[in-house]
A and B are shown apart, each in its own frame.
Chain A
Amino acid sequence: MNPFIDARSLPTGTVLEPDLAIVGGGPAGITLALALAHTPIKMMLFESGGLDFEAGTQALYDGKNTGVHYLPLNASRMRYLGGSTNHWGGWCRPLDPIDFEKRDWLPYSGWPFGLSELQPHFKRAQALVEAGSWIYDDADARMNAQAPMLKFAAGGVYTSWFQFSKTRNDVLPTHFGTRYGDDLKHVPNLKVFLHANATALTLAGNGAVLDTIAGATLNGKTFTVKPKATVLAMGAVENARLMLASNGVGNQNGLVGRFFADHPIPRDTATLVHFAGDLPGYYFNGTSVDGAILRATLAPTEAFKRTRRVLGSLATIENPVELNELDKAAIVTAALAVGADASNAKAFSIGCGLELAPDPERRLTLTDERDALGMQRLKLTNRVSNEDFSRYRDTLKEWGRQLLAAGTGMIRLNYDTRAEWEGALDWGDHHLGTTRMHADPKQGVVDANLKVHGIGNLFVAGSGVFPTYSASNPTLNLVALTLRLSQHLHGVLA
């Protein structure tokens, strides 16, 4: 057993020489360490925080925001072992095949590989996030057996399914630090350093090799890591920050920090009226079936995405809502027009997670302010285009058409103006895109193996490498992508 090492106790000037340095102890870093357990690769994992929340460490995340409202940078992520799984909601859904495609109508789209590259890793990823058996879009028959699903005519929207990381004792859902802390201690080829911050990357060999990582603690200790290879796994925001703050490591084409993305979660975007009244519980909450917890969501079909040029969206049915006299008149008139019995009709609010189009100007940049370790802080410039909203609106409208065509319900779109959309905007805290993946160094920071272009031994893990973002929550997918990275690293290092 290897107990965790508190870096604050290291003698200043310590030099550590692992085969592989993993910088960051969130879901990507922990997944990588577990995946390479019991290999000849000597690993060291450096986590900035400890085992629980500490305000001083969290404050290292402080930064500035400009543009469209966004949560403060120190509030949208967690800086201790387990990373942002310490506050995630456990929502899981795999990427769709179209998410990987280059779409002529979507600038900057196209991953350097397809879904088939991740599929071999989903089983283990699903186990790591503890989301039960792999059901997802095979769930219709099982859920219909519990209670009849909401019917609507064939068209551009279909019922898809989230699965959830499971409840385990008092931890809901799987917090990677809590769940896998003991497992990490039993990895013989791993040492975990807590309270260990990476503050700078230094290159050698004319910039072709990462030579050292400067380490520091909040009690004033410094240390040096001299690894054979390094994986940055601090999340999309902090990975970009460290690279930018290290004289622009990997930023030869000015891409580091650009293309930041998250999933906007506008509240109460629409009102669903279901003519038959109540809906099954699995539309509102996670529901157990066959060893998994599922919740229904409404998503645009691949064909609809192509023909209408919309991006991903995952709408959920939320709470009952009250209607006014005009609403009731619209419902009466429409229900009668389609010959529907609306005698038990009920109305519900619709929530959603949206996919944004890639935008190089939605970005992170360094400021002149410095944190307690002397690192430059970040500024996020956040943008959402009108098209990002209107694409989702088109999808909702299509769903409304399908509902009325089936005589089962109808939709009211609640927002039209940009001010209305922005007024309802919340965010998923899913940081994406700042070190995007592309085979061409001029279009991406990392290549298909997640290696930083031009640097032989520096890799980036996590959803920061996603070139497009899907509407699916990123954790399951970034874990699968990290498992794929572990295979590559095993081949390179073992």
Chain B
Amino acid sequence: MSGPGYSRRAVAIGGGIAAALGLTALGVTVPRLLHRHRATPYDDLLDQLVDREAAVKLGKIAYAKMGAMSGLLDLTPKAPVLARELRQRLERRTLAEVTRSDLAMGRLMEIKGWVLPETMVLLSVLAALET
């Protein structure tokens, strides 16, 4: 799928943007894809989120829930700890690839009942922490 001159990650993000542009059937407003975010030390990670605004909404809820969880991370998920974990997971891999791996391995989290891939949720939490 990825042609010459394009990284797999760029293609994955580009495909995501194309999908996001049409997310209207459920009344979802088109994400502000070109919204400029405040620069953070974690943009290498957060740039994998095509719609960071949506991820932040999800991440805030997830973060509130993680306080009551045990076993996922040893420490309360503050941004540096979380970023270190995510960099390990996402090293040389796209979010789509890691998500597929999460789903294959059954690494799931429930946020307000939604059954979601774990890394995607953690990345959303990081986005929320940095907003």
Which of B23, B104, B112, B117 has a CB less than 8 Å from the CB of A332? B23
Residues of A within 8 A of B21 (CB): 343
Asked whether B28 is an interface residue with its Cβ less than 8 Å from the other chain, the reply is yes
Q: Is the CB of B12 within 8 A of A405?
A: no
Residues of A394-445 at the interface with B, using a CB-CB cut-off of 8 Å, are: 397, 400-401, 404-405, 410-414, 416
Residues of B61-120 at the interface with A, using a CB-CB cut-off of 8 Å, are: 61, 95-96, 99-100, 103-104, 106, 108, 110-117, 120
Interface segment among A125-133, A320-328, A357-365: the answer is A320-328
Q: Is the CB of B19 within 8 A of A277?
A: no
Residues of A310-368 at the interface with B, using a CB-CB cut-off of 8 Å, are: 323, 325-347
Number of A-B contacts (CB under 8 A): 128
Which of B12, B58, B96 has a CB less than 8 Å from the CB of A326? B58
Residues of A within 8 A of B19 (CB): 335-336, 339-343
> Which of A327, A343, A345, A405 has its CB near the most chain B CB atoms (within 10 A)?
A343
Residues of B within 8 A of A336 (CB): 16, 19-20, 49-51
For the complex formed, measure the closest distance between the CB of A277 and the CB atoms of chain B, giving whole angstroms.
6
Q: Is the CB of B120 within 8 A of A333?
A: yes
Residues of B within 8 A of A346 (CB): 25-26
Which of A327, A341, A400 has a CB less than 8 Å from the CB of B115? A400
Residues of B1-48 at the interface with A, using a CB-CB cut-off of 8 Å, are: 12, 15-16, 18-28, 31
For the complex formed, measure the closest distance between the CB of A340 and the CB atoms of chain B, giving whole angstroms.
6
Asked whether B129 is an interface residue with its Cβ less than 8 Å from the other chain, the reply is no
For the complex formed, measure the closest distance between the CB of A403 and the CB atoms of chain B, giving whole angstroms.
9
Residues of A within 8 A of B115 (CB): 397, 400-401, 404, 410-413
Bits for A355-389, please: 1 = Cβ < 8 Å to B, else 0: 00000000000000000000000000000000000
Chain A residue with minimal CB distance to B94? A339
For the complex formed, measure the closest distance between the CB of B43 and the CB atoms of chain A, giving whole angstroms.
17
Residues of B within 8 A of A335 (CB): 19, 23
Q: For this complex, into which size category does the number of interface residues on chain B fall?
A: 35 or more
- In the bound complex, how far is the Cα of B21 from the Cα of A273, in angstroms? 18
Q: Is the CB of A337 within 8 A of B106?
A: no
Residues of A within 8 A of B126 (CB): none
Q: Is the CB of A333 within 8 A of B104?
A: no
For the complex formed, measure the closest distance between the CB of B112 and the CB atoms of chain A, giving whole angstroms.
6
Residues of B within 8 A of A329 (CB): 53-55, 57-58
Residues of A within 8 A of B50 (CB): 336
Given known A330-B111, A412-B114, contact A337–B95 (CB-CB < 8 A): yes
Which of A330, A342, A397 has a CB less than 8 Å from the CB of B108? A397
Q: Is the CB of A414 within 8 A of B51?
A: no
Q: Is the CB of A345 within 8 A of B23?
A: yes
- In the bound complex, how far is the Cα of B20 from the Cα of A37, in angstroms? 67
Residues of A within 8 A of B57 (CB): 325-326, 329
Which of A331, A405, A411 has a CB less than 8 Å from the CB of B26? A331
Chain B residue with minimal CB distance to A415? B113
Which of A273, A337, A414 has a CB less than 8 Å from the CB of B117? A337
- In the bound complex, how far is the Cα of B26 from the Cα of A345, in angstroms? 6
> Which of A323, A397, A404, A410 has its CB near the most chain B CB atoms (within 10 A)?
A404
- In the bound complex, how far is the Cα of B12 from the Cα of A185, in angstroms? 72
User: Can you list 12 A-B contacts with CB-CB less than 8 angstroms, sorted by A residue number?
Assistant: A332-B23, A333-B120, A336-B19, A337-B99, A338-B99, A340-B19, A343-B21, A345-B23, A400-B115, A404-B103, A405-B100, A413-B114
B: residues with CB less than 8 A from A are 12, 15-16, 18-28, 31, 49-51, 53-55, 57-58, 61, 95-96, 99-100, 103-104, 106, 108, 110-117, 120, 124
